[in-house]
Structure 1
Amino acid sequence: MPMTPINPSAFPAPIAPYSAGTRADNVIYVSGTLALGEGGVVLHVGDAAAQTRHILEVIRTVIEVAGGNLADVAFNHIFLKDWADYPAMNAVYAEYFPGAKPARFCIQCGLVKPDCLVEIASVAHLAG
Structure 2
Amino acid sequence: MIVLDASVVIAYAAGRDTAHERARRVVEESDDTFAMHAVTITECLVGPARIGRAEDMLALLEAMEISRVDLDENAPLRVASLRVETGLKLPDAFVLDAAAQLGAALATFDDRLAAAAGAQQVRLVRGSATP
**TM-score, with structure 2 as normaliser:** 0.26
Q: Point out the structure with the larger helix share.
A: 2
Q: Point out the structure with the larger strand share.
A: 1
**TM-score, with structure 1 as normaliser:** 0.27
